[in-house]
Amino acid sequence: MRYELEPHHRNVSDQELINDLARVASDTNASAVTIDTYNEKGRFHATTLTRRFGSWFKALELAGLKKTRNLNISNEMLFQNLVEVWTKLGHQPKYSDLSKDVSLYSSGTYEKRFGTWRKALEAFVSWANEGVSPPTSQTVPSGVIGRKTLRTVNWRQRAIVLMRDGAKCQLCGVTPQSGARLHIDHVIPWSKGGETVLENLRVLCEQCNIGRSNVSEDDI
C-alpha cells in the first residue's frame, strides 16, 4: 500500500481519476474493482478517489463499473477499514461513528458479518493480535540481505500500534480530534537498521513526522 500526500493530487482532474479506475478494470479484465486491487494497480490511492467522489461506489459508478457493495468484502477489508476509521477518529469506533465521511462500510455491514458491533470489534482485536507474533523468515524476500522485516508496516501492526499508543502523537500529543493526521513511524528508521516490529513503531502526527525525517521514507 502506498501513502500519497494529499496536495500532490489536488491538481489531478476528476476525469483522470476516473480514467485510471477504468484502466485498472480493463487491465484486470474485471467488471468491478475492489479497493485492494486499485491500491495495488492504480496510479493513485483509493482514498484519493473516495475523498474526491464521496465513496468508492460513486467512483465505480462514474467509471461505468458495477458496484461491488457487499459482494466481495473480505473480513480483511473490513478490518483494514476499521484501522483507517480508528486512525481518523482517534478512538475506538462506536456503532454510530461509521458515517460515510470516515468509513467505506456501514456499521450494518459489520453487524451482519459478525452478529453484533461488539463481536465485530472483538474479531478485529483478535485479527490485530495476530500481528504480534515475531516476523518469520517468510516475511522478507531473500533479496533483502541482513534484514528481519520489510519496511512496510502491515495492517495488523498499524492496528496494534494505534491501540497501544491511544491514537495520538507520541511526541506532541496531538490527536485526530484536533485535525491531526496520524502516521505510523519507525523510531529507528528502517533505512538505518530499525526493523518493522512493534517495539520500533509508534504513532506520530504528520507534522512531527515531517520534522523528523524524510516523509517519503517512513510514513504510512
Query: Footprint of Zn ion on this chain (CB under 5 A)?
Result: 169, 171-172, 205, 208
Tell me the closest approach of the beta carbon of residue 189 to Zn ion, in angstroms: 17
Identity of the residue, 78 or 205, whose beta carbon is nearer to Zn ion in the bound complex: 205
Q: How far is the CB of 206 from Zn ion (least distance, A)?
A: 8
Shortest distance (Å) from residue 91 CB to Zn ion: 17
What is the grid cell recorded at 79? 478490518
Q: Which residues pair with 75 in a beta bridge?
A: none
Radius of gyration from C-alpha coordinates of the chain: 18
If the CB atoms of residues 111 and 206 are measured against Zn ion, the closer one turns out to be 206
Residue pair 107/95 in contact (Cβ under 8 Å)? The answer is yes
Does an H or E element contain 114, and which?
A: helix 107-114
Other C-beta atoms closer than 10 Å to the C-beta of 86 total 23
Q: Which is nearer to Zn ion, 25 or 205 (CB)?
A: 205
Q: For residue 202, what are the β-bridge partners?
A: 185
Q: How far is the CB of 47 from Zn ion (least distance, A)?
A: 21
Q: Which is nearer to Zn ion, 22 or 171 (CB)?
A: 171
Nearer to Zn ion, 52 or 183 (CB): 183
As measured in angstroms, the least distance from the Cβ of 217 to Zn ion is 17
Could you give the count of Cα atoms lying within 13 Å of 129 in the half-sphere of its Cβ? 6
Report how far apart, in Å, the C-alpha atoms of 150 and of each of 39, 104, 113, 191, 193 are: 18, 28, 32, 11, 11
